[in-house]
Amino acid sequence: MSVKERFLDYVKTDTQSDPETGTHPSTKKQFDLAEKLAKELKELGAQGVSVDEHCYVYAYLPATAEGLPALGFISHLDTEPVCSGKDVKPACVPYKGGDVRLANGKILSEKEFPVLKNYVGQELIVTGGDTLLGADDKAGIAEIMTAAEYLAAHPEIKRGKIGIAFTPDEEIGEGASLFDVKKFGCDFAYTVDGEEIGELGYETFNAAEATLTLTGKNIHPGSAKGKMINCAVLAGEFLAALPADQTPATTEGREGFFHVESIRAEVERGEIKLIIRDHDADKFSRKKAYLSQVTENLQKKYGESSARLEIRDQYRNCLEKIREHFHLVENARTAFARAGITPIEEPVRGGTDGCTLSFMGLPCPNLFTGGHNAHSVLEFIPVPSMEKAVEVIVNLAKIYGGN
C-alpha cells in the first residue's frame, strides 16, 4: 500500500484528544486507530505487536544482522482538541498554482501561504474546509508504516532492530508520559512529527504551564472602600505586568514568550491560565521566577490569600540530551542528502514527544512529515513530501546498518 493510500485511510478515524478528561488515554476513540495499526503491523510481519491499556502501540522488525544499534521511529495517534477531526473529507488536488478552493468554499490562498509555490505540479491533499486534515500526525504514522512494510519485505538490507511506536495524547502534552522505554528496547529513535519537507528538529522550547488562582471579596459597591477585592481588577494588574514584547505575536526564532490561554474573572474568583516557553534554560527559569514575583506583589497588595500561582514543567529542550548523541543529527543529514533533500535546521518553536523521551533515556530528534498549517481547516500535505519522508526513514535504517 502506498503512503498516500495509508494516509487517506487513517484520517477517516477520529482520534481527537481531550485535555479535560484526566484519563489515559484522554479519549477512548484513539484505540480505534491503535488497534487498526496493530493489526496491520502483524500482517506486514512485525513482532512484539501490542496495544497497552493506555493506548500505546509497540512493535518491532527483527534485526537482519547482529551487533547493530536498535533504531526506533515514533508518531502520535491523536489530533488537536481545538479543531474537529471527525468526518474528515480529504481531497486530492493536482496543484497548478494560485489559490485552492476547498469543498465548503474556504480558500487556501497562495498570497497568505506563499509556500504553495514550492508545490506547483505536485498533488496536494487538502481538507474539505470543515475539519483539520490530520497530517499531524497521521502522516507520520503512514510514513513509518510504509517504511516498515518496505524494510520487512527486504530482509537483504543489513540493519539492526527497528522499533515502531505510536503514542496517544501528544497534542495535550502527555504523549510520552507513560511511554515504556524499556519495552520499546531501542538505543535511539526519531519522532516523525515535523511539518515542511526538510525539517530536522533537535532543539526545542523548555516548556511550562502556569495557573493563577484569584480569590476576592465582594462588598456592596456603595460601601466597598477599603474592603472590596475584585478579582477582575487583580487579573488586569497581572496581565499588565506581563512583558508586551514577549508574546507569541511578537517573538520568533529563539525568543521565548508568555502566552495567555484563558482568563476567567469575577469579583470573588478568577483564574488565568498561561504557558511559558524559552529555548534557553536560564531565561526559562527567569520567566518562571518573574511570574512568581508578580504574584507576590499581588499578595502584598491584596493579601496572601488573594493570589496563588502553580507552575508545572511540561518538557525540556531535547538538545541538552541529543548533543551527547549528535550522530543522530549527522546521520539524518546524510539520509536527507541521499533523498535529495536540503535540511531545514531551525529551533523548533514547540515540542514533541521526543523532548520527554530524550530525558527518559531515548534521544529523539524530530523528522518532517511534509504537512503544512497543522491544527487548521486549511491544513494540507503534498504527496511527494510524504514519499520523501518514507525514503528518509528507510535511509536511516540503512545508515545505522552500515550501508
Active site residues: 78, 170
Output the CA torsion 104→108→112→116 (10° steps): 180
Local structure of residue 83 (DSSP, 8 states): S
Pick the closest to residue 36 from 20, 55, 54, 19 (CA basis): 55
Runs of H (alpha helix) within 241-343 = 281-302, 319-322, 327-338
- Report in angstroms the alpha-carbon separations of 231 from 149, 209, 222, 308, 311: 58, 21, 18, 12, 20
Task: Assign residue 310 a region (left: φ > 0; alpha: ψ between -120 and 50; beta: otherwise).
Answer: beta
β-pair partners for 192: 367
- C-alpha cell belonging to residue 38: 496493530
Radius of gyration of the chain (CA): 23
Do 337 and 330 contact (CB within 8 A), yes or no?
A: no
Kindly report the length of the chain.
Answer: 403
Half-sphere exposure of 96 (CA within 13 A, CB side): 1
CB contact set of 156 (below 8 Å; sequence gap of 6+): 64
